[in-house]
């Protein structure tokens, strides 16, 4: 039973480490968001300033 629990815990832990994601805090954003950094999780509201660009 302990072995099964250890294996299950290891799969969950290492599986979450392999999941690529990018967290974007709320606020002003600009620049380029690349597909290889997806998924993007936006925390809060974001704004693209009128003098800037955001390329997705």
Domain assignment present for 14: no
CA distance linking residue 9 with residue 14, whole number of Å: 9
Spatial contact of 48 and 30, defined as CB atoms under 8 Å apart = yes
Averaged pLDDT for residues 35-44 = 94
pLDDT at 26: 94
Which residue range(s) make up the domain with 25? 21-56
Position 54 pLDDT exceeds 90 = yes
- The verdict on pTM exceeding 0.75 is no
Domain assignment present for 7: no
Domain assignment present for 5: no
The whole-chain average pLDDT of the chain stands at: 85
pLDDT at 7: 73
pLDDT at 14: 60
Domain assignment present for 27: yes
Domains in the chain, number? 1
**Nearest C-alpha neighbor of 40 from the set 4, 53, 55:** 55
Instruction: Write out pLDDT tens, residues 12-35.
Output: 666 555 566 999 999 999 999 999
């Amino acid at each position: 039973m302990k072995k099964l629990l250890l294996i299950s815990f290891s799969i969950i832990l290492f599986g979450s480490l392999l999941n690529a994601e990018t967290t974007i805090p709320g606020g002003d954003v600009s620049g380029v968001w690349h597909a290889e950094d997806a998924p993007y999780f936006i925390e809060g509201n974001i704004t693209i300033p009128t003098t800037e660009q955001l390329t997705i």
